[in-house]
Chain A
Amino acid sequence: MLDRLTTMKKRLDDTPHLLRLGRLFSETVLLKVGEDEYYLTFDKGALAGIQPGPSRKTPWRFALITDAEALEKFWQPRPEPGFHDIFGLVKIARGRIEGDILALVKNLRFFKEFMALPREEMAK
């Protein structure tokens, strides 16, 4: 997962429209995959840090909690119904969103497109 997140960081750096959309987004997001935790620290839309957890000392604004199999399905170029969106994962009980949901919604396009970055790689 760490390799995947590192690749996503590079892809984000190479995606100017996402950096522009995220220019006001400087927050830490907790991505919990099964029992593994990753603290993603965004700075003006760029992913400045990926810190594996667990860490009780790292504050986060909102969290996406899911499992590895669900994420792999989410990252398919054409996911099955429910796996096609982070709110779909919630709807089919394969994901939860916690914390400051309004902060997520205000930056929803940015965060959803960030999370979907691996789809392009998977399509190759």
Chain B
Amino acid sequence: MTSRIEPIAGRYVTVTLSGVPHRIYFEEAGQGRPVLCLHTAGADTRQWRHLMNDPQVTASNRLIAFDMPWHCKSLPPEGFQTQEYMLTTEAYIETVLAMVDALGLDRPVLAGCSMGGRIALQLAALHGDRFSGFIAIEASDFQSAWYDIDWFHRPDAHGGEMGAALVSANISPHAPEAERWNTLWMFMQSGPGVFRGDLSFYTRDESLIGRLGRIDTARTPVHLIVGAYDLTCTPEDARRTAAAIPGATLAVMDELGHFPMSEHPDGFRPFFIEALGKMPLVSAAAA
């Protein structure tokens, strides 16, 4: 068997968030237009590994992904042992903008999935000038939880295993078995209370609803992508959201679910390439 070293390279950067230093892990592959990629709740940068290994994507796009604080290789801040992790819209926005600054990115495309897609739309509404376009995957204005988020952080059960068993409901039966389980493994590995803290943001903050109309797609295009097997952000949720953003476009993937770039990379690939094609090049955006 021939060994193959992947082109993905990972490093760390320390950024200050709300006055507290955070050591953030990020990885990247490719060259050209920067595309900042945001993972879902309870997971990490590994969800983007297939696209980062795709020469057609990376030939002209520099894909960058980072683990949110508390996730995977990004340690929680000092003193975390007495804190309750609860992500907020404000903290999430601060984190994404801090990473854009720390990495010196000039108006990257922002691609986010699930809660990453939700915050991408928030950033489109509030900080559109910092980006060249938005790819919002499995993203919607808001939907409340159909589960109790407290299930995923309790002393008598393994939150990661329960979380994985729950989110498996959002994976398409068309997904290759190996990638289904690679996707679920990330949830199984999630730190205690982290998935719950992410879901607090995702299922309780309705502030995006009133902001969608502010998004100026003439300056920064917004393209939504949604999988038919997504029970959390259904095609109906994505259609409602796209309809509230003048000029936004939407693609529905009949055979994919909530984690398309991770659960079914071959199925997602053409949709992501189509989405990139809708995003302007930075030089064009600056003109």
Contacts and interface: CB of A to CB of B under 8 A. Distances in A.
Interface of A: 77-79, 81-82, 84-88, 90-91, 101-102, 105-106, 108-109, 112
B48 interface: no
A84 B172 contact: yes
Given A77-B173, A91-B146, A108 B229 contact: no
A85 B165 contact: no
Contacts of B234: 91
A87 B164 contact: no
B228 interface: yes
Most buried by A among B146, B161, B231, B234: B231
Contact of B166 (A77, A79, A87, A91): A87
Contacts of A112: 165, 168
Contacts of B166: 87, 105, 108
Interface of B: 146-148, 151, 156-157, 161-162, 164-166, 168-169, 172-174, 228-229, 231, 234
B217 to A, nearest CB: 28
A81 B162 contact: no
Q: Is the interface of B mostly helix, strand, loop or mixed?
A: loop
Given A84-B172, A85-B168, A87-B146, A105 B162 contact: yes
A106 B150 CA distance: 12
A109 B164 contact: yes
Contacts of A91: 146, 231, 234
Contacts of B156: 106
Nearest to B255: A78
Given A85-B168, A85-B169, A88-B169, A106 B231 contact: no
B254 to A, nearest CB: 8
B181 to A, nearest CB: 11
Contacts of A77: 173
* 8 closest A-B pairs by CB: A108-B165, A85-B169, A109-B165, A87-B169, A78-B173, A81-B228, A106-B157, A81-B229
A105 B160 CA distance: 12
